[in-house]
Structure 1
Amino acid sequence: MWRGVFSWLGGLKADLRRRLAGQILAEAEADRRAARDLLQEAMDLLPEGVVLLDAQGRYILWNRRYAEIYHRSADLFAQGASFADTLRAGVARGDYPEAAGREEAWIAERLHKLMNPTGERHEQQISDGHWLMIEEKRTSDGGVIGLRVDITQMKRQAEALEDALHRVEAASRAKTEFLADMSHGLRTPLNGVMGLTQALAATDLSEVQRGLVEDILRSAGALDDLVGGLLDYGDAARVADEHPPAPSHHVGAEAPTLRVLAADDNPTNRKVVELMLGAAGAEVVSVENGQEAVAAWQDGAFDVVLMDLRMPVMDGLDAIRAIRRSETSGLPRAPIIVVSANTSPDDLAASATAGADRHIGKPIRADELFDAITGVIEAA
């Protein structure tokens, strides 16, 4: 009798244990579902796309934003589905423009980044034109959590900013070129006025005539200062006097035997140099462009070269470089002075880089020209 009772009790305990285990499992499953639903709800509230993958790269969870971002592939998302399979299907559909023409290599690179996450961010473009910032990290169980941030607006703003910077740079270059052209255009005739007037001042004049010449020089000097201020170009190559002195005959003693090669495309400017240096006893050979200057230097013995920058056929910088190259074949080194209406810091640097020894600005002042010639000859 007792044996039957004990058997009945044993069966009852086993049944109770089974029922209890089932209840515990059911409650655990309910808790798991509730936790999963809560996690899903929390993820769906996030503005960024989020995806959870297991250690084999299979989908566990993804939020609503992730499905919206990859809307062309959202029909393929399923728990347990392979990310690699979804990626391949997306590539086949043309969802990833970067993969075009190198599909297998692109897929391999993308899967390598996925399964070896470093947390390093990278960008991805999708077929609807949007740009994504992707960040992926390893979870404690060996899976992967991925973040997708839409950076399309940021990319457009960056492109707009870059375009604006290019426009600003282009405008700045255009302004610089315009100012250089204006400087050259204004200072070239001004150089003729001042140079010829200074040459006239060195001749025998009556007191009335000398007063008029001095008035012309003062007016020309004021105009030169106005041009310099207007164009925002300081003449770094010289320190100009407010009232430039007229050259006197005794200056010629500084360069009695000079042989000067002067290159300038403007005939008035050539005349100014010839008058200034001729009055000092120098011999001046004038040419109209850089090519003629190079040929003349190679054919004749000159003590100094005066080189304008803006000239046809060959400009002054190219001519200076050509002369410096010819010196390597045995010709003596030429003392070269740039004489130009362009005196910006960039112009000065370009002259020095080409090989010029000095750079003085137009309008030319006789005392400045003689000082420059004396300086380069003494340094030679």
Structure 2
Amino acid sequence: MAKDDHHLPRDPAAATDAASHPAKALHSWAFLDAVVESVPAMLVVKNGRDGRFVLVNRTGEELLGVPREDLIGRNDADFFPPEQAAFFAEMDAKVLASDRLWVIDEEPLKTPHNGDRWLQTKKIAIPGEGDEKLLLIISEDITERKKSAIALEAALERARAASVAKSEFLANMSHEIRTPLNGVLGMAQVLAQTELTPRQREMMDVILSSGRTLNALLSGILDLAKIEAGEVELETAPFDLRAAVTACAATFEGLAHQKGLSFSLDFDEPFQQRVTGDALKFGQIVNNLISNAVKFTCEGSVSVHAGTRADGDEVLLTLTVEDTGEGFTPEVQASLFERFVQGDGSITRRFGGSGLGLSIALRFAKLMGGDIACVSTPGEGARFTLTTRLAPAAPEAPAPARRAPKAAAPERLRVLLAEDHPANQRVVELMLDGVADVVVTEDGEAALRAYQAQDFDLVLMDTQMPVMDGLTAIQEIRQRERAAGRVRIPIISLTANAMPHQVEACLAAGADLHLAKPVTVSALFDAIAQACELAAEGV
């Protein structure tokens, strides 16, 4: 075998031309040979008849780890494992039969002396001497790119696993914190309804205020975690926009007057009253802006102004909250919407809070296709402007006349409580003292036995309990109702599991309502009234 056999094959026509024009031929073959050797990819030519290597360039030699003189005249079966050689032969036959370019984006290759590699390969049949066909193969080594992709996918999988772990941790911590907090706030509310001395009343107010602040902080952290995990979705339904803004303002108007501040609320006219959107998240945004304005203003005024205008098929709301309070510098403004950042972040700051409110409000606003902008001068107050996009809604239809209840509600309810925490058992008993007879069970299985043994007007069901969890117990109650043809009993999930997927799980199991701990006396009574009303209407 000649030393030059691994270079470009020469056909007879080219040889004749080279004989008559030696300088031209020398230049052409030297040029083409240099091009082939310089290609930064493996370039191989095979004999179409038996798959033997006719040409291999320098990159191919380096990639395979075999000298070219050992490759020329031999085929894949001489170097590669049988399965891989058979695959190459099958693919080569398809390429030769099709006369078109074949592209293999990712091709594993076990090289004889260079380890496992990944190639991106292009194959096409080209004419040889006479009727002979050759196979031109160009392969780019993408091993490092493939390794990077695998490493990236592994990193993404670790990130997904970490996100799941974080969500599970937050769900568990939410439950573990809300459960004792329900005991603290519940008992404090019950005690607040008794006769107390002024000194005791003051101490009780501090307990209630601190407990509510802790509950709000917990909810804020969970909201932020859900946003960062991409788990927050807008729940759209028609609502009264003017009434929603008015309710938010009314919440803080009394506090403003207690501080000696003037408070005003006005609307542009005309104003789009009925819209479709997420009323709950909208209320959280507006509540945060007004709350901050009142909190950071010691004297002067707080004003709220709202206006709407049509923007194509949408309603663009602009709501401005302006105060004459502390204000802040441009440096503070630049980081004001970052989580855990406050306008006054010093150790001796006069105002409390977690610094989560504005961060959550801004993210909710962006989910609604809007934004929050702020302008402030230190010592001269601040102006926050919220914009959101909402869909117009038809005017609210008159409420249908309510049907008369099937039966008058009993004067004293018979309530089945499934709750494993002793403090929370006692909280509910005290909250319902005088209005209900409460039968307490410590797990779902015991609740089923009690349900079978006597009649109840209502079930209050915890979720996380030993022996049998609340979801399983609810499902079993609904199944037994259907099997026995019994009247559907109202079931309220009274639980510290308050994350969205947990609420959905309770309702999917068959609960009529979900009530998150810590629960207030008024919220418990409202839920019971609603559940009894639904039962009376046969819903």
Quickly name the TM-score band, shorter chain normalised.
0.7 to 0.9
Q: Deviations over 1:61-101 (max 9, x none)?
A: 332112222224855532xx4xxx62222234x7xxxx38x
Q: Deviations over 1:294-328 (max 9, x none)?
A: 33334433333222222222222333333334344
1:375 aligns with 2:530: yes
Change beyond 3 A, Cα 1:305–1:75: farther
Q: Deviations over 1:12-41 (max 9, x none)?
A: xxxxxxxxxx98673379866764443222
Name 2:510's counterpart in structure 1: 355
1:313 aligns with 2:467: yes
Amino acid at match of 2:176: G
Q: Distance between the aligned counterparts of 1:303 and 1:233, measured in 2?
A: 38
Q: Distance between the aligned counterparts of 1:65 and 1:140, measured in 2?
A: 23
Q: Distance between the aligned counterparts of 1:138 and 1:23, measured in 2?
A: 25
Q: Is 2:95–2:125's contact at 8 Å kept on the other side of the alignment?
A: no
Name 2:36's counterpart in structure 1: 43
Q: Distance between the aligned counterparts of 1:371 and 1:195, measured in 2?
A: 15
1:133 aligns with 2:120: yes
Q: Is 2:119–2:140's contact at 8 Å kept on the other side of the alignment?
A: yes
Higher alpha-carbon deviation: 314-323 or 153-162:
314-323
Higher alpha-carbon deviation: 129-138 or 51-60:
51-60
Q: Is 1:188–1:362's contact at 8 Å kept on the other side of the alignment?
A: yes
Q: Distance between the aligned counterparts of 1:23 and 1:229, measured in 2?
A: 85
**TM-score, normalisation: structure 1:** 0.74
Structure exhibiting the larger radius of gyration computed from Cα positions: 1
Q: Is 1:261–1:306's contact at 8 Å kept on the other side of the alignment?
A: yes
Name 1:185's counterpart in structure 2: 176
Amino acid at match of 2:32: L
Matches within 5 A, 1:160-175: 160-175=151-166
Change beyond 3 A, Cα 1:143–1:260: farther
Identity of aligned residues (%): 37
Deviation at 1:176, TM superposition (A): 2.0
Q: Distance between the aligned counterparts of 1:140 and 1:377, measured in 2?
A: 87
Q: 5+ residue gaps in structure 1? A: 1-21, 244-252
Q: Is 1:54–1:143's contact at 8 Å kept on the other side of the alignment?
A: yes
Name 1:120's counterpart in structure 2: 103
Deviation at 1:177, TM superposition (A): 2.4
Change beyond 3 A, Cα 1:124–1:30: farther
Q: Distance between the aligned counterparts of 1:53 and 1:313, measured in 2?
A: 71
Name 2:305's counterpart in structure 1: none
1:270 aligns with 2:261: no
1:66 aligns with 2:65: no
Name 1:202's counterpart in structure 2: 193
Q: Deviations over 1:131-152 (max 9, x none)?
A: 1112223447764322211111
Structure 2 SS opposite 1:333: coil
Name 1:156's counterpart in structure 2: 147
Q: Distance between the aligned counterparts of 1:304 and 1:144, measured in 2?
A: 80
Name 1:250's counterpart in structure 2: none
Change beyond 3 A, Cα 1:113–1:70: farther
Q: Distance between the aligned counterparts of 2:471 and 2:68, measured in 1?
A: 65
Name 1:86's counterpart in structure 2: 75
Q: Is 2:189–2:208's contact at 8 Å kept on the other side of the alignment?
A: yes
Q: Distance between the aligned counterparts of 1:302 and 1:62, measured in 2?
A: 87
1:52 aligns with 2:48: no
Of Structure 1 and Structure 2, which has the larger fraction of its residues in strand? Answer: 2
Matches within 5 A, 1:292-331: 292-330=446-484, 331=486
Q: Distance between the aligned counterparts of 1:352 and 1:74, measured in 2?
A: 71
Q: Deviations over 1:335-372 (max 9, x none)?
A: 32222223222322332333332222111111111222
Q: Distance between the aligned counterparts of 1:214 and 1:24, measured in 2?
A: 106
Change beyond 3 A, Cα 1:64–1:177: same
Q: Distance between the aligned counterparts of 2:480 and 2:215, measured in 1?
A: 37
Question: Which has the higher relative contact order, 1 or 2, with Cα contacts under 8 A spaced 6 or more apart?
Answer: 1
Deviation at 1:266, TM superposition (A): 0.5
1:333 aligns with 2:316: no
Q: Paired residues, what number?
A: 334
Deviation at 1:112, TM superposition (A): 4.4
